[in-house]
Structure 1
Amino acid sequence: MNFSQTVRPPPSRGSTGSDFARLSRKIRAAGLMDRRPGYYTLRIIVVTALYAAGWTAFVLIGDTWWTLLTAGFLAFVFGQVALLAHDLAHRQVFRLRKASEVSGRVAGNLGIGMGYGWWQDKHTRHHANPNHEDLDPDLDPDILVWTQDQARAARGLPRLLGRSQAFLFFPLLTLEGFNLHVSGVRSLFDRSLKHRTWEGILLATHFAAYLGPLFLALPPGKAVVFLLVHQCLFGVYLGSIFAPNHKGMPVLRGADRPDFLRRQVLTSRNVRGGRFTDIVLGGLNYQIEHHLFPSMPSPHLRGARTIVRRYCQEIGVSYLETSLADSYRQTLASLHSAGAPLRMSRTA
């Protein structure tokens, strides 16, 4: 299948949303939308302890190249903080909006230097229209092109990179951590951003607390190397979590807007794995279930998978689940296909 072309999912059976309503009743009857305060209390404690342990190790190791091991460890920890901020944004942790937003800003802005308000707005729009060429901000051709139509219209950097973007994808992920920081700072100049002052204070505090000790504890050369290793690995980790979810799945455009269930299931991909995969990917390996029930606590997603997969089989909706390695293969194949017009124009 050529994923760069528009794919029209089958029409909904019955009235709009009826299939999802029946599925939702099954999920709620199984108790899978219930809060998990004990789980999230433990998770927050563990992630906070790992965060503190990483920076404690940085101080204790001091001025040696062994400190780069700490940079790698903290890249993983920052990824775990980002995943926790993601769950907070979806109100999986707290029922009240204010508690979710305050905690999300502490984790995002203060913890890892990510503009929480900017990211939440972008991510909300993605959830509403996943893999829709015109409506999903994650398909904006700002650096890479995601469809052949985007490739034909590409100018500047996307046109330059698009020819070889499948080979450049993982190297470019090393910049994702820096992109989060820059986008967060840029969002502060947007007057529509809520709580701009607090977002700015928390971001400034993060950068001061991060860069100050880094350049005080290490010579400039080592400090720069530490920063590059940490931020680049952080970016690769984040990108490796999110890339398997939708890239290479059917792309919608224009008036292609099937009912909610099909819009979420047909554009999403699950990744098989055990508990280790659940931890490393933060539960986003159950991407189909997460998109159907964004506020479902992540430890319930594994149980929801069985119900959702069986239900999709009953109503004839394709449900894709694959290995992590194959999800990356599909992602890269899709990127290579999307860039085909640029390669053809070069040889014409």
Structure 2
Amino acid sequence: MTTVTVRPPRSENAGSDFARLSRRIAEAGLLGRRPGYYTLRITAVAALYAAGWIAFVRVGDSWWTLAVAGFLAVTFGQVALVAHDVAHRQVFRRRRASETAGRIASAGIGMGYGWWQDKHTRHHANPNNEDLDPDVDPNLLVWTQDQARSATGLPRVIGRWQAFLFFPLLTLEGFNLHVSSGRALADRSLKHRPLDAALLVAHGALYFTALFWVLPPGMAFAFLAVHQGLFGLYLGSLFAPNHKGMPILKAADRPDFLRRQVLTSRNVNGGWFTDLALGGLNHQIEHHLFPSMPSPNLRRARTLVRRYCAELDVDYLETGLIASYRQALTSLHQAGAPLRRQRARA
């Protein structure tokens, strides 16, 4: 006689808070790939990228080329968003395909894939943790009053009025991305370092050759400033609403995974245009809970996650885009308060 073991059905209450939410998300079919969506999106972004450079050559030696620089700045931001989704395996299931596509997209905007992947992975593991998240290192700005009290150099100078300087400083973010990518190549532990180096050099060579071949020197430098400045502003504006102004943790603070992700993230309300402009990162809470979820599924997941957080009495924050910037700037101003007090006493 064959013995058949019948397993009892899994209880809805089994497992951690996140495990229960994850089952609801999986049952709703929100973790499945969206090949049609990504084929259309990647094709459209690639076409815009190509169109921008064709327009650059066609416009040529004319100050109208600065309008092309603005167009390419937005296009570079959209390429960065595609690279982000690819790196999170939202597009391809297999690691090799994701890394290949991610490196191609990153090379198109002059970003080191290995450097960004390492930095972004550490951010996702411990968002807004001042000891573990590289995005809140006090390299230029201070994010907490404790960081302000111990600040030296530029963070000490800038930190006093950093809320007013925040958006102007974002115009340097594109340059910072290139410089940080290059500096990371000195790290021998970086995976595929020679490949990343070759792609960065190739991007730089093609970019500067195009600028100074098509444009006279003065116009080339103006194009460089407008393109990279607006690219940095757009890129920084994409990420600023997500965590800035949300609670900042320390290494000793170890809430469970669900609360660690939800309580340090903020969603931005809006319709299809907000999703397009922010690349789905306006659904930051859902993205941090399910990083491999395709971005077009995040809006549907939001309803389930918001309802579940209400059941658990876990704060779930959604604001408008302007309100999110206001909260971020208010937090930056408060973080710099000790530096202003020190200045007043001096």
* Bucket of the pairwise TM-score, normalised by the shorter protein: over 0.9
Alpha-carbon deviations, 1:20-53, whole Å to 9, x = none?
0110000000000000111111111000000000
The 3-state SS of whatever aligns with 1:163 is helix
1:305 counterpart residue number: 302
Structure 1 residue 133, shift from structure 2 partner: 1.1
Unaligned runs of 5+ residues in structure 1 are 1-13
Alpha-carbon deviations, 1:191-222, whole Å to 9, x = none?
11111111111111111111101101000000
Residue type of the alignment partner of 1:54: G
Distance 1:113 1:25 in 2: 39
Residue type of the alignment partner of 2:78: Q
Alignment of 1:164-313 (within 5 A): 164-313=161-310
Higher RCO (CA 8 Å, separation ≥ 6 residues): 1
Residue type of the alignment partner of 1:45: T
Distance 1:217 1:145 in 2: 41
Structure 1 residue 346, shift from structure 2 partner: 0.7
Structure 1 residue 268, shift from structure 2 partner: 0.2
**Aligned residues with identical type, % of pairs:** 74
Distance 2:200 2:127 in 1: 29
Please say which structure displays the higher CA radius of gyration.
2
Structure 1 residue 136, shift from structure 2 partner: 0.6
2:66 counterpart residue number: 68
Report the TM-score when normalising by structure 2: 0.95
Aligned residues: 333
Distance 1:198 1:103 in 2: 14
Structure 1 residue 254, shift from structure 2 partner: 3.0
1:102 counterpart residue number: 100
1:85 counterpart residue number: 83
Alpha-carbon deviations, 1:151-181, whole Å to 9, x = none?
0000011000000000000000000000010
Greater than 2 Å deviation, 4+ residue runs: none
CA RMSD of aligned residues (A): 0.9
Residue type of the alignment partner of 1:194: K
Alignment of 1:93-172 (within 5 A): 93-108=91-106, 110-172=107-169
The 3-state SS of whatever aligns with 2:195 is helix
Residue type of the alignment partner of 2:210: P
1:7 counterpart residue number: none
Alpha-carbon deviations, 1:118-171, whole Å to 9, x = none?
011000000000011111110100000000000000001100000000000000
Unaligned runs of 5+ residues in structure 2 are 1-12
Distance 1:318 1:52 in 2: 43
